Amino acid sequence: MSTAPPTTTDETPRPAAPAPSPGVWTPLRPLVLRLHFYAGVFVAPFLLIAAVTGFLYAASFQAEKLVYAHELTVPAGEREIPVSEQVAAAREAYPEGTVSAVRPAPEPGATTRVLLSGVEGVDSAHTLAVFVDPYTGKVRGSLEQYGSSGALPLRTWIDEFHRDLHLGETGRLYSEFAASWLWVIAGGGLVLWFSRRRALRKVRGTSGRRRTLGLHGTIGAWAAVGFLFLSATGLTWSTYAGATIDELRTSLGQSTPSVTADAGGDHAGHGASAAAGSAEHGVGLDAVLAAARGEGLGDPVEIVPPADESSAYVVRQIQRSWPEKQDAVAVDPNSGEVTDVVRFADYPVLAKLTRWGIDLHTGNLFGLVNQLLLMALAAGLVLLILWGYRMWWQRGRGSAFGRPIPRGAWQQVSPRILVPLAAGVAVLGYFVPLLGIPLAAFVVVDAALGEVAHRRARARTEAADQGAR
């Protein structure tokens, strides 16, 4: 006997389709959102200071040219007098201290700088720059100078404010803290922005918190790459992370090379004596500069006198704009012969990248264009911080100020993702301690507060149950 196949009707219930399993990103998004929110709230004041002072520093390059025009420029003449005569004129006007370096006029119409160390009243980390007219030998004045970029008082003050708030080594922790977290905030914001549906990323035609979010996200997305770069390069010369980076470069054979300043030869230590405090050792400045020119070292250069009777002159290029000029030579003060040469072209890759990164970060690499770009990034960061706090305010209800992002986001993340992620964060935190230590402290405090809140909620529930009986 045959059996007819069962028929189905529209009324017959069908088995429910299994719910699609969430992707990797779905449980991670609340965790990234919480990190971005709290990091933004607590780190933003430090970033705001860094942004404002960074804006001022980028502008200080052009301001310096205006403020110190008398010292920096002279009417261009037909023929420059020898560098040795320019140094002699500077020493006659300023006999204190010793000559630590000489920077011959780098271009027509610019002055020569004679740098003096050990001058009373001048910071020990600074030098006194004496400005000399290279055509007449007339001294135009003197100013304190700091750093290899030749920062004068205005730029030095802003630079130190940006770097350490004029608080010394302790103050440097602020800037390292800001740099350590900037890439985390920028990267998290970038991920959150592009994970939103396109319709929710629009700014035009929106209002209230959604408009603020749109402005915050759009500007942040455009500027994120710049923020990541500023964070990475800022860490390269920070106190703790910078030391780790230096150790890593050294272990990889990627440290920045330098010329050997030993005079060498059978006559080392003889005949190279100099008058106290002068730069004229042995063959003298003019012969040393000529030897460096013979090796192809074009302007701008800095001549460093021998440190003692067994040392050589060091002549190095100091141009930090593109293309970089960073070649250096050592010149025997007895014979005037070049004893060692280091070419920037032969620098290890990481040494070159570090040099370019620092110079781009400080506004030197591409001059005015570089400085304008840094000012735009700094202004953008200020706006993002203000919009971020406004969104926090707009999250509130009634008189409440900014509801926080709920806890427990990590509980939704699969262990196979959470464990490697936590291990990676721990390793990163070890190498970047001003990221790792605050993050660990936040996790501990947040967990403690969560436990307290949980116990209070349970106590209220138990009290309510007892009251209902």
DSSP letter string over 266-290?
A: TTTTSS----TT-S--TT-HHHHHH
CA 343 vs CA 145, 257, 324, 340, 454: distances in Å: 26, 9, 11, 10, 64
Name the residue among 404, 402, 407 with its Cα closest to residue 451. 407
Q: Which residue has the tokens 């953008």?
A: 380
Please report the pLDDT score of residue 23 as a whole number.
57
Euclidean distance between CA atoms 67 and 54, whole angstroms: 19
pLDDT at 415: 82
Q: What CA–CA distance (Å, rounded) separates 177 from 174?
A: 5
Report the range of poorest mean pLDDT among 7-11, 271-275, 313-317, 454-458.
7-11
Residue 7 — very low, low, confident or very high, per pLDDT cuts 50/70/90? Answer: very low
Are the C-beta atoms of 183 and 231 separated by less than 8 Å? Answer: yes
**pLDDT at residue 199 greater than cutoff 70:** no
**Is residue 181 scored above 90 in pLDDT?**
yes
Q: What is d(CA 94, CA 131) in angstroms, rounded to the nearest whole number?
A: 11
Beginning with the edge strand found earlier in the chain, give each strand of the sheet holding 338-342 in spatial order. 139-145, 127-132, 112-117, 98-103, 301-304, 313-317, 328-331, 338-342
Average pLDDT for 455-469: 77
Percent of the chain residues past pLDDT 70, beyond the cut = 87
Q: State pTM to two decimals.
A: 0.87
Cβ–Cβ < 8 Å for 89, 138: yes
What's the pLDDT score for residue 48? 97
Token pair, residue 462, equals: 């138990």
Tell me: pLDDT of 57 over 90. yes
Q: What is residue 354's predicted lDDT score, i.e. its pLDDT? A: 95
State the Cα torsion 5-8-13-15 to the nearest 10°. Answer: 60
Averaged over 371-396, what is the pLDDT?
93
